[in-house]
Amino acid sequence: MAKLKGEVKIAIETCKGCELCIHECPQDTLVMSEELNQRGYHYAVVAVDNCTGCTNCALVCPDACITVYREVRGKKQPIAQISNVTEDMTITIDGRQP
């Protein structure tokens, strides 16, 4: 099965240029911009259209600048579902246990 298609949207004015997302991306999708934002930071931008929507960049982004989309094939996939703690202590993210 081909990799799922993903897409990220980055709030560039919120970005502080920490680069953690760049180190975290398994696809090397992201790079730092040449330009500065209004606060004077280089910000993360998409360099290659190969995102799989894994959300790693967004999870590690301290300032919550990144919104992630992922292709839906067939049934809808849950993104973060938490079951009742006292009965079953499991959290699933993207339908998997982290």
Shortest Cβ distance from residue 1 to other proteins (Å)?
A: 15
Shortest Cβ distance from residue 23 to other proteins (Å)?
A: 5
Of residues 23 and 50, the one with the C-beta less far from other proteins: 23
Shortest Cβ distance from residue 91 to other proteins (Å)?
A: 5
Of residues 1 and 89, the one with the C-beta less far from other proteins: 89
Q: Which letter does DSSP use for residue 36 in this model?
A: E
Residue indicated by tokens 């996939």: 77
User: Among 62, 9, 65, 12, which Cα is nearest to 42's?
Assistant: 12
Residues 6+ apart with CB under 8 A from 66: 8, 9, 10, 11, 21, 44, 57, 58
Binding site for other proteins (CB under 8 A): 5, 7, 11, 14, 16-20, 23-24, 39, 41, 53-72, 76-82, 84-86, 89, 91, 93-94, 98
